Structure 1
């Protein structure tokens, strides 16, 4: 959430920066008007409460003097009624201010390329040679179905579209991938967490999914619980309403969890395969840092995610997303996109973002600076990596003419030394 004081004092700056994210200036004006109404009402309320105190003193004086206080008592009752009505209005106004404030996205860093669509993203670097085949490469879902390791048909029968079963060597490959990621993340200084897979609305608000993106998640109708769309939510909220010991910063967490997404608005997109599912596994990375550390930590996080792809031998590039394409909470996002031979293009496999103090303000996560003053931490998050998409990339990039798939060397220790995936019996 943006600092309301910043919006008040640097209105033109905020309007200019948020315009690059598609926010109309009228939204900011409406927020400021609500805020002004609230502040004016606070003044009136305080004035009336001072009046109530004065009338109370006058009533007490009249009673001490054995004089008639009925008129003052009547006046007091009216003042009390007016104060109650005013406080109710103030509560409603405060909620409206908070709601309007919470719907504004983060301010983009000055180095983020400006654009309201994905067009204009800047390529930072590229690694690896895209594989060449002496046969027509197949799509990962076709490879998986032929080998008998991915079963989309039964997944759809049991759960619906965009669900699947991993079978045999497919399940083992998925497990090898996420165990490899977790081990590598631990070596890089991330502490492993096994988080809850359901969170309450306050947690979803803290990381920025609520109130604006409720249609994108699965919420339980009879309880204040939502299936997590990413482990970022329980990891960031681990410190909600806390003051982190300064000596601990930066704190680095990693977690394997399922991610549940309704994929609202994605009709017709990636309807086959592992790219866009309602349920998938992801290894997440989250960091809590001092403000002066966060930009270096973003680069470290991105480089680490990139190293995972290098160790798997998967050609990829790193891009910086435009102002309009990055997530609601991000001030800057680097996407890692891995090569998919059958599609003849790069596809996203990780997003690494610096959210600055945006989530920390919503979740109220602070630390004490060198002067002992409470400050908001900066939070960062990144996929390290999306497991299903990594499996898909391995199947496509390591496919062989005979239909088998070579297992990347880095994963073989996790698969008992197995070197090739062959057709299931």
Structure 2
């Protein structure tokens, strides 16, 4: 959500942001409703002032005048009462459109229609060169008996997953390593729920527009979040924090649930796109200072890169274009990790800076040194998401005999083991 005053004063910039982000926004209707609401509020204030003035005259009036003034007060009260539903209706209609207004992208963001026009910034690490025929992650899991897709599908339906033995330990090891790493960077660890109220999705910006991606709890006002960003973004909703508490930096661990509506037949093999997974999310709530926020953006991006480097996984950094960055983002980069079986990089991390767009929706504010109340700025980035990260991990670290090499940074989380699995001919 943008400041309404900014929208009034800069309609051209807002219209351009909607255009390049490919968002269908009726800005003319929004501005019309804004004018109508201002007129209704002015009429309401005028009638309220008139009623108050009229009430002051009643005690001093003659009996004949008093009856007339009392009736006038009743008439004004009735008019105000009749005006209230119209006022509420216009307020609701205006808020509905305000929730669709996109954040203005940073000047550095490339123009583009979709992810095919994202821009690669750099590559890190060298994809492995195998002197044997490598297997994909599904074949590797099957080879070691580390998964049971048929049985879990009978229990939970398609696109569920179940890891066994060393693969289950590996998933937990990677998550634990990511949490320890982020704690060492000064992030406070959170273990949080995925059960949230619908308004938290509005606050984070996933609603309106992403309703088809969310699982709903029948008969309750609760839904399942697809990232810890959703609940954490509402922890301080409506509060005014002291500036010296900022920035708040969290590494939030939670289960995550996504219906993945519209992705049937796409990226559904094995562990790539499952309905339920585990995720460590970096989330930052900080002062309204864009220069400092852009530095923080680089810092949380750097955290994700260091995690991939410690896991010895080749990756590339991609800047998302306007058509692939989402309504609320000022700036967005993806980290895509090399998947040998496909000969391409797949997105494993997403880093976003949203300015005060989420804060205005959620009411995230702080009192600055100037004594004024400001909306905060927010950022988020994946720490690690499992089991997706296992796809490049297993494939990049496989050996000719089928075993999986464990990078040095992860060995202490696996009892010092350097290899997983049993050698096979």
What's the TM-score bracket when you normalise by the shorter of the two chains?
over 0.9
Deviation at 1:56, TM superposition (A): 3.3
Q: Tell me the equivalent position of 2:166.
A: 169
| Alpha-carbon distance between aligned partners in 2 of 1:15 and 1:300, rounded to the nearest angstrom | 31
Aligned positions of 1:291-310 closer than 5 A: 291-292=288-289, 293-310=292-309
SS where residue 375 of structure 1 aligns?
strand
Contact conserved, 2:109 with 2:319, CA < 8 A, in 1?
yes
Q: Measure the CA separation in 1 of the matches of 2:117 and 2:209.
A: 26
Q: 1:188 aligns with which of 185, 190, 193?
A: 185
Superposition pairs of residues 232-251 of structure 1, within 5 angstroms: 232-251=229-248
SS at match of 2:170: helix
Report the 3-state secondary structure (helix = DSSP H, G, I; strand = E; otherwise coil) of the residue aligned with 1:114.
coil
Aligned-partner SS, 2:63: coil
Q: Using the alignment, how far apart are the partners of 1:105 and 1:269 within structure 2?
A: 28
CA–CA distance in structure 1, aligned partners of residues 260 and 82 of structure 2: 43
* Structure 1 residue 59: Cα displacement: 4.4
2:128 aligned residue: 131
Aligned pairs, how many?
Answer: 422
Give yes or no for contact 1:148–1:423 (8 Å, CA) kept in 2.
Answer: no
Cα distance in 2 for partners of 1:49, 1:247 equals: 41
Unaligned runs of 5+ in 1: none
Residue 10 of structure 2: aligned partner? 10
Correspondence for 2:87: 90
Rounded Cα–Cα distance in structure 2 between residues aligned with 1:330 and 1:93: 28
What is the match of residue 344 of structure 1?
Answer: 343
| Residue 37 of structure 2 corresponds to residue 38 of structure 1 | yes
TM-score normalized by the length of structure 2: 0.95
Q: Tell me the SS of whatever aligns to 2:263.
A: coil
Q: What RMSD, in angstroms, separates the aligned Cα atoms of the two structures?
A: 1.8
Partner in structure 1 of residue 264 of structure 2: 267
SS across alignment from 2:333: strand
Equivalent residue of 1:78, what SS? helix
C-alpha separation between the residues in 1 aligned to 2:31 and 2:366? 29
Task: Note the alpha carbon deviations across 1:172-228, whole angstroms, 9 max, x for none.
Answer: 010000001001111111110111221112222211122332221112122221112
TM-score (norm 1): 0.95
Query: Is 1:20 matched with 2:20?
Result: yes
- Work out whether residues 361 and 376 of structure 1, in 8 Å CA contact, stay in contact via their aligned partners in 2: yes
Partner of 2:334: 335
Q: Report if the CA contact (8 A) 1:146-1:423 is conserved.
A: no
